[in-house]
Structure 1
């Protein structure tokens, strides 16, 4: 459904993440915002960009910035409306969404055990939202098989639901916390 307008629900959930990512509050996402987001996440992990894990996280985040900027026209500034236009196109590009999910899974799975733990998820939410957000109930909802961790498949499905979905009841709609 290319060219469709984002629903009110999509606008609400994306606006929350956009606001958290817009670290300087200027109404645009920029490379500087993504660098600040990356630094915040590394700080929460107790590491920096000089470590292998830090380099990997920085590469994922800055790669995501490059892809978003390019999709929005390559001006170095991305507005909320531009993000929503990109989001509108995502259902027709599932590979792009799952590719981002794969990279993000690698970044969130700090210990490389193939599962995102509740603690790793908690750091993701704190990094993205800039504040600690109670996420235990959301994690339980996302952990659809109840095994105490998010598998790559679970995370990818929820990531797709968040970015390309329009169902307020879908667990993935809460991947960055409650909307």
Structure 2
């Protein structure tokens, strides 16, 4: 069963993904997420950037739907479904790391194999749909203080968020502050 910490941090991400605010994740919510992110990037329909972001976001939807409902008897995912998946992630670190690498590639807009503060801000604004000052949080995530997140740093942070339960882990902030 998900801890209170996991519930709090996952609830914030769930709410950001739930574009229509109905308490359920559906394919249309992930399409809205894709649309926000491609708009922030200025990725035109038919461009390589648009295709890449669409593939990541809609692939995440397909994966979430499959793992949260193995019988595939529905097309909606609840917060409780997501928390049940999170419960299993602690023993699936290779899967979480693989997801981190996929997300890293989506966030790394210029493909220089690092995430800049501006690219991180785009990720958060794509997620939430609102302009957000991320400088303070980025500094907390940047473990070596070099002003960028490497693929390895991002994978650790992503794993701390999705599979971790330590209240002191910097990765808890990868999607920003949570209640």
Q: Structure 2 length normalisation: TM-score? A: 0.95
Pairs within 5 Å for 1:120-135: 120-135=119-134
Q: Deviations over 1:82-118 (max 9, x none)?
A: 0000000001111111111011000000000000000
Consecutive aligned runs of 4 or more in structure 1 exceeding 3 Å deviation:
none
Matched, 1:51 2:47: yes
Taking the TM superposition and a 5 Å limit, the aligned residue runs for 1:12-161 are 12-73=8-69, 74=72, 75-161=74-160
Runs of 5+ in structure 1 lacking a partner? Answer: none
Distance 1:44 1:168 in 2: 31
Partners of 2:45 and 2:115 lie apart in 1 by: 21
Query: TM-score scaled to structure 1, two decimals?
Result: 0.95
Q: Distance in 2 between matches of 1:126 and 1:132?
A: 6
Gapped runs of 5+ residues in structure 2? Answer: none
Q: Secondary structure at the match of 1:28?
A: coil
